[in-house]
Amino acid sequence: MSDSTRAILTAGTLVALAATAGSLYFSLGLGLTPCDLCWYQRILMYPLVVVLGVAAVEEREGVWKSVLPLSLGGVAVSGYHTYLQVAPGATCTIGGPCASIQYPMLGGLLTIPRLALVAFLLVTLLVGGMALTSGSRNDPWRV
């Protein structure tokens, strides 16, 4: 495993850890109740801390096969959640107050779903780059 791969896995772990700690702070520290879509985002983010952390320690380059389904699912859910908050008259098809903004930051520019979207996109970009380069190392015919 190259040092750059370990750095990518460590960076992904730190992003997932920050998102996990942030979500716990919003609910346990500030007392905000997560909506249904927030729970789905947590279900997709929390395992990434362990999966990426273990992969960094054990030098598992192929971890992208496990990470990308979780991170891309998180992009989809948090993207939909963000859409609900910006689209006029949008209603949540999952249930709960998913379109309401509980804790706006920076004058409403940042919301909890937008922070989750940024975290999922960062993890996807970091690990997606590994997926693209892993094929070129294993396939001698690939240029």
Counting DSSP H helices and E strands in the chain, the numbers are: 4, 0
In whole angstroms, give the CA distance from residue 64 to residue 134: 10
Q: What pTM was estimated for this model as a whole?
A: 0.84
pLDDT digits (tens, 9 = 90+) for 60-114: 888 989 999 999 999 999 999 888 888 877 776 666 666 666 666 666 667 888 9
Structure tokens at 74: 């998180």
DSSP assignment letter at 27: I
- Show the domains of the chain with their CATH numbers: 3-136 (1.20.1550)
CA distances from 26 to 20, 61, 84 (A): 10, 33, 20
